[in-house]
Amino acid sequence: MAAYRPPHIPSSEITPLSAWLNRRQFIAAAGLAAGGLIATKALGAPLTTKPGAYKVDEKTTPREDVTTYNNFYEFGLDKGDPAKLSGDFKPRPWTIKVDGMVAKPATFDIDTLIAEFPLEERIYRMRCVEAWSMVIPWDGFPLAALLDKVEPLGSAKYVAFETIVRPSEMPGQSGLFQSLNWPYVEGLRLDEARHPLTLLAVGLYGETLPNQNGAPIRLVVPWKYGFKGIKSIVRITLTDQQPKNTWQITNPGEYGFYANVNPEVDHPRWSQATERRIGEGGFFSAGARRPTLPFNGYAEDVASLYSGMDLRANF
Ligand SMILES: Nc1nc2c(c(=O)[nH]1)N[C@H]1C(S)=C(S)[C@@H](COP(=O)(O)O)O[C@H]1N2
Ligand SMILES: [Mo]
């Protein structure tokens, strides 16, 4: 990727990619999205979950904000696009293939998994790399439970994830201008993937996951920046090579593999020291700013995973 000079726009107001694109391309893409279909918002079915062990003692972000302020480039670049343009997406039937360095590779039907694993509600802080945050009541099961079923081999060191490619239902994948390379991909170290905080979410606010939030199944890693939470997962592969992630591929100078929330390491174009809590502070206000916590407030649980590592070099 050639060296990139960022434009001088207030960084709090732009998404990383819209800043990264040249303005002409961005306007063309926005035009395509505006001419696209406007979907009606369908509510998911209620889920039966039990209260999980993990809870944040902070006000939850209103459901309206959680489901209308999204990043999901398969449905467009603007935060409002996923809610507006994901109505044609069909999250069922759905299978996930789990393969690679495992003793028992298998393809799982999503509803069979949901029936098999007891669902837990966990209230997690989510912190995006653009310095906004939410507190979301997720419903899901630990990723470790699924990994156990396929029996990772001793040689497996990392877990790679892949989002579905379905341009017929995802306007961001079918337009003339393609924002990212599809499929969207992500990765974790195996010990991060097995950590009890790492969740495969299938719902929020007690209902089946809305399309715009990553239906039918998405990753939530609460101590990392939001982009690690890959949506609409169709494949999970155990490997001995550190997987690349989409934002790192798109802009390697700005996004790394680890992406642990770290107020001391700034993004090259903005500070990561504070965050704006979505849904607080009123419509015309920038929202209440609060200091960002190391590991997004989960340091006690996860800091030991990185002992001895230089967290500036491994951003
Ligand atoms: N497949 C896919 N997954 C994705 C993204 C995306 O564009 N495509 N965006 C990521 C980013 S940058 C963030 S901040 C979170 C947003 O999740 P939310 O919309 O549920 O808040 O999803 C992540 N997962
Ligand atoms: Mo993000």
DSSP secondary structure code for residue 306 in this structure:
G
Nearest to 292 by CA among 272, 306, 312, 269: 272
Which CATH architecture group holds 45-306? Answer: Alpha-Beta Complex (3.90)
Cα-to-centroid distance, 130 and ligand 2 (Å): 6
pLDDT at residue 287, rounded to an integer: 58
DSSP secondary structure code for residue 84 in this structure:
H
Query: Counting atoms of ligand 1 from 1, which one is nearest the CA of 163?
Result: 1
Determine contact, residues 110/216, Cβ cutoff 8 Å.
Answer: yes
Give yes or no for residue 74 CB within 6 A of ligand 1.
Answer: yes
Atom 11 in ligand 1: residue holding the nearest Cα: 227
Cα-to-centroid distance, 230 and ligand 1 (Å): 6
Atom 12 in ligand 1: residue holding the nearest Cα: 227
Closest ligand, as measured to the CA of 229: 1
Say how far apart CA 185 and CA 181 lie, in whole Å: 9
- What is the dihedral sign for C-alpha 196, 200, 204, 208? negative
pLDDT at residue 52, rounded to an integer: 85
pLDDT at residue 117, rounded to an integer: 95
Domain boundaries, the chain: 45-306
Say how far apart CA 6 and CA 22 lie, in whole Å: 10
Mutational pocket test of ligand 1: of 20, 64, 65, 71, the residue with most ligand atoms within 8 Å of the beta carbon = 71
pLDDT at residue 45, rounded to an integer: 75
Atom 20 in ligand 1: residue holding the nearest Cα: 213
pLDDT at residue 285, rounded to an integer: 57
The model's pTM is 0.87
- Residue 30: CB atoms within 10 A of its CB come to 16
Determine contact, residues 162/145, Cβ cutoff 8 Å.
Answer: no
Mutational pocket test of ligand 1: of 173, 205, 231, 276, the residue with most ligand atoms within 8 Å of the beta carbon = 231
Determine contact, residues 222/174, Cβ cutoff 8 Å.
Answer: no
Cα-to-centroid distance, 247 and ligand 2 (Å): 9
Tell me whether strands 274-277 and 289-291 are parallel, antiparallel or unpaired.
antiparallel
Per-residue pLDDT of the chain (315 residues; tens, 9 = 90+): 333 333 333 344 444 444 444 433 444 444 444 433 333 334 567 888 888 889 999 999 999 999 999 999 999 999 999 999 999 999 999 999 999 999 999 999 999 999 999 999 999 999 999 999 999 999 999 999 999 999 999 999 999 999 999 999 999 999 888 889 999 999 999 999 999 999 999 999 999 999 999 999 999 999 999 999 999 999 999 999 999 999 999 999 999 999 999 999 999 999 999 999 999 876 555 556 899 999 999 999 999 999 999 999 999
258 membership: H or E segment, kind and range:
none
Give yes or no for residue 141 CB within 6 A of ligand 1.
Answer: no
